[in-house]
Structure 1
Amino acid sequence: MVRCACGLEAVIRTSWTNRNPGRRFYGCLTLSPTCVNFLRWYDPPMCQRSVQIVPGLLRSRNELEEIVAMVEEKRRKLLKFLITSWTQREAQQANEISNLMRQRQLLASVNNRHAIIEELER
């Protein structure tokens, strides 16, 4: 039996904090402000099968997290490459459009001069 600092028997509760989700602990039955600092973790022994399985699961999870990190890094690099290539392509297309517009202006100017020359020759 576990007792709180106030003398009452402590009860088993479950933590739902981000740091200890689902972890069980002994806490005061009253939850009064004087007993707030009383906390003792309740960690019953794990069964033998869990002792055998959990380390392998943790290793697998760590390996998967490493793979996810590598994939994410490759995704970032690919995205950067795509943005760079799109930017270069857009700049090239803008340059081509600018060249075409200059050629049209030059052609219009030549046609205009040609028309003036024809007019003067009449």
Structure 2
Amino acid sequence: MKDLSNKNQLWLLIFTLPPVFYTMDLFFDKKEFTLTEFFFYMLWSVIGVVLGYLFSAKFLSKYQDIRWVKVIGLFLLMLLVLIILVVLHLTALRELQPFVSDALVLPLIVSAITFSAVASKQ
């Protein structure tokens, strides 16, 4: 993946991560497939990938010369994910399925780590 540009990596992650995570969610949670749930899961997963891209490729790559920026950036990412999960689980937003979903959390983490690792090698 390091030979691809950032935009190509973004498109690759957008087209691969959401279907893979949805398939895993179907098999492990034993949910029934519905078209609306699939659509909203894909929507939230793509939002997670784009947020991860913006966080790592745009924000962290600007400051990659600073020492400890990766550790601080990944700490901030985990803090952001924890805040999102706490807000979803402790408020009534969790009941608004499929309009609010925690499907953005895993793609957010994976894409941010991917772009962060690739940006450090360039």
The TM tier, using the shorter chain, reads under 0.3
The normalised TM-score by structure 1 is: 0.27
Query: Whose strand fraction is larger, Structure 1's or Structure 2's?
Result: 1
